[in-house]
Amino acid sequence: MKKEIADKLVKALRSGLFEQGSGSLCQDGKYCCLGVLCVIAESEGVISSVESNVEMYPLHKRKFGTDLEPSYLPVEVMEWAGCNTRQGIFKDTNYLNSRSHLASENDSGKSFDQIATLIEKYWEEL
Q: Model-level pTM greater than 0.75?
A: yes
- DSSP single-letter state for residue 45: T
Encode pLDDT of 70-88 as tens digits: 788 999 999 999 999 988 8
Residue 61 · residue 70 · CB < 8 Å: yes
What is the distance between the alpha carbons of residues 33 and 13, in angstroms, rounded to a whole number?
A: 7
CA proximity to 77, closest of 101, 44, 52: 44
What is the rounded average pLDDT of the residues 86-104?
Answer: 75
CA 4 to CA 25: how far, in whole Å? 21
| Residue 55 per-residue DSSP state | T
